[in-house]
Structure 1
Amino acid sequence: MTKKSKSYIFSKRFLDISIAIFALIVLSPVFLAVSLLYLYGANRGPVFYRQTRIGLNHKPFQIYKFRSMIVDADKKLYANPDLYAKFVANGYKLPTEEDPRITKLGAFLRKTSIDELPQFINILKGDMSIIGPRPVVENELVEYGDRVDVFLSVRPGAMGLWQASGRSTIHYPERAELEIEYATHANMWFDFKIIFMTIRAIFKKVGAM
């Protein structure tokens, strides 16, 4: 693992704040539209979904997403041993079409990646960065073995090498290798490369869930 320069860390944080503020302003109509759908539509309930993830240097934080599932979806997952076993075996995710917790609106939000937009709030707060390894739940850290400290040595990101390389089509242990590769070699040029790779993957709908 190479030590990140102070100039890289400062520049990256400056860009994170600038992009997050700009995105939250520009995307405010989207936030309003989705909020109205949840407040007055068929899927009434909380607009946002929050879950504890593990961030930089093992620090836990609450990640924000637009809710794409029924209320208390996590409880339903953990209460069903077969469903949870399939969830773990599939890289801690379930295919949208096989996940009974996902609503029709939620399936659309996931397919278009709109559900991820609230993470600009996490970026502005400093929990996350635009680019970095995807933040995971604590149980998932076992997949990184004795390299978990390397994985958590950089701020987690809204976009990352794993997403850019195929998202949900890539499972562990290959996913761990990709995330460790980024954490080990992170630099500004690598970050810009991942941004363009991720945008291309989103438009091609590669691995969207």
Structure 2
Amino acid sequence: MTRLDAERTAAAHRRAATGTQRRAEARLRLLTLPAMIVADMLALALAGGIAFAVRQVVLPPAGDLRENVASASLIMALGWLAAIAVLGGYDRRQLTSGPQLYRNVLHASGAAFGVIGALVYLLDLELSRAFFLAFFAAGPPLLLLNRLLMRRGLATARVRGRFRQSVIAVGSLDHVGGIAATLHRERWLGYDIVGAVTPGGIADSSRLGIPVLGAERDLLAIAESAAPDMLLFTAGSTSSAEEFRRTAWKLEHERIGVIVVPALTEISADRVTMRPVAGLPLVYMDLPRARQALRWTKRLFDVIVAAVLLALISPLLAVIALRIRAHDGGPVIFRQQRVGRDGKHFEFLKFRTMVTDAEAVKVEMVERAVQDRGNTVMFKMRNDPRITAPGRFLRRFSLDELPQLWNVLRGDMSLVGPRPALPGEVERYDDDARRRLHVRPGITGLWQVSGRGDLSWEDTVRLDTYYVDNWSFTQDIQILVRTVKAVLASSGAY
């Protein structure tokens, strides 16, 4: 087979695969909107039932209000659904951007509450206030639950290979490589990089881990031949804005979507705002938020939660302490110097889960641990022979971390933050890794809920710096909730 024949065969395979993906995407498009509307109708019907029950309990009616409530519920539900549609609550593209989708639903709920409430007042309609308030109190959580379940279901389906979209990335090698690595890691987004178009064309194939289909000057011919679902333009993919605009004109009649990725990565959605001004798509970005992660509100939350938890679990702490002492008679608490905020050392507390001379034999085990995990900075290994029988159980469910609540009360740590590092690890940090030291370390964090011990060093640094740069109180709450699931699943705990 000649090279030309091989290229034609590969292009035919790509078109066939793309056709299958497009049919799957079309099915998703047809199913998503009706499914969201039906789910919302059921949610609002349930909210109406809850509101009626509350009305009956709080203020027993003087007469039979069922007919009045039924008609009012129908009108309010239709108005609510219309508000959701107008304010973007049914935008399928937002399913991959949870916060924006949730905000749209909440904004629509607020608008429906205000408009319907005003109409009821102005028209002097006969409607129970208790029913009205209960209806709009029960509705938003149910609507948000719908979006959450739909996002989870779609993400799971995409991870399993369904509803995926083929993408050709256009741009320089470095930018295309970075984008490809991110999309490969975040499979729930549903994008498959099937090829790249770079300035050097085929000559760049050996330097990139994905097929290079040609040079940027041949982009239109490549797009017509490969027929991807999306063209993804990275930073610097075209020499000028005018050239990009002309390329978009030529793609106007193709059934190909366009994604433009600016030279920004690891930035949360709430730090970025896009405002088209004078024809320029200006992207406004808030500065990193390391200083905000040190605010007194976060510290107050840490102190209150840590104090309450210590009071509630004190019997459990006593049982664990007795079990450790009964096993080998050694100390209950393991104390170790760790590096905290701004590089300051502090005494880190854990329940002892290893033999009493664990630190003495650690040096000879470092090489074995590196071979086990491929992590040359953090010492962590599966099936560590130094772990005791009770220690293995404590580690599996992260119970050995509970004494760190005292570190939180003392101000050495926070409930949520980067992993507290050893001094020897910090000595090997590069500039990016040192960014982790700008905030207090945490008992849990993004590393905890994203794999813990199974993460590579690069992923650990990436997650921790993302947390530092994009801190928000909402993110802390989400991490705490996800921690419960991670602990029960015991993923990466060893």
Same-fold call, TM cutoff 0.5: yes
Q: Does 1:36 align with 2:322?
A: yes
Indicate the residue corresponding to 2:331 in structure 1: 46
Pairs within 5 Å for 1:73-88? 73-78=358-363, 80=364, 83-88=365-370
The within-5 A match list for 1:1-209 is 1-5=288-292, 9-39=295-325, 41-78=326-363, 80=364, 83-88=365-370, 90=373, 91=375, 92-95=379-382, 97=383, 99-141=384-426, 144-209=429-494
Question: After superposition, what is the alpha-carbon deviation per residue over 1:30-51, rounded to whole angstroms, capped at 9, x for unaligned?
Answer: 1111221233x23211000011
Deviation at residue 87 of structure 1 after TM alignment: 2.7
Look up the SS of the partner of 2:386 in the other structure. Answer: coil
Q: 1:83-102 CA distances to partner (integer Å, 9 max, x unpaired)?
A: 1113345341111x2x1111
The secondary structure found in structure 1 opposite 2:338 is: strand
TM-score, normalised via structure 1 length:
0.90
Q: Secondary structure at the match of 1:191?
A: helix
Quick one: distance in 2 between partners of 1:22 and 1:35? 20
Post-superposition shift, 1:60? 0.6
CA contact (8 A) 1:144 1:151 kept: no
Q: CA RMSD in A?
A: 1.7
Q: Which residue pairs with 2:61 in the alignment?
A: none
- DSSP 3-state at the match of 1:173: helix
* SS of aligned partner of 1:162: helix
Shift of 1:4: 2.8
Secondary structure at 2:435's aligned position in 1?
Answer: helix
User: Aligned to 1:75, what secondary structure does the other structure show?
Assistant: coil
The one of the two structures with greater contact order (alpha-carbon pairs below 8 A, sep at least 6) is: 1
Query: Post-superposition shift, 1:143?
Result: 5.7
Q: Which runs of 5+ in 1 are unaligned?
A: none
Equivalent position amino acid for 1:202 in 2: V
- Is the 1:16–1:123 contact (alpha carbons within 8 Å) kept by the matching residues of 2? yes
Distance in structure 2 (CA, Å) of the matches to 1:204 and 1:119: 21
How high is the sequence identity, in percent, across the aligned residues?
Answer: 36
> What stretches of structure 2 of length at least 5 have no aligned partner?
1-287
Look up the SS of the partner of 1:64 in the other structure.
strand
Larger radius of gyration: 2
Structure 1 runs of 4+ with >2 Å offset: 1-6, 86-91, 141-144
Q: Is the 8 A contact 1:133 1:155 kept in 2?
A: yes
Tell me if structure 1 keeps the 8 A contact 2:418–2:445: yes
**CA–CA separation in structure 2 for the residues paired with 1:64 and 1:182:** 23
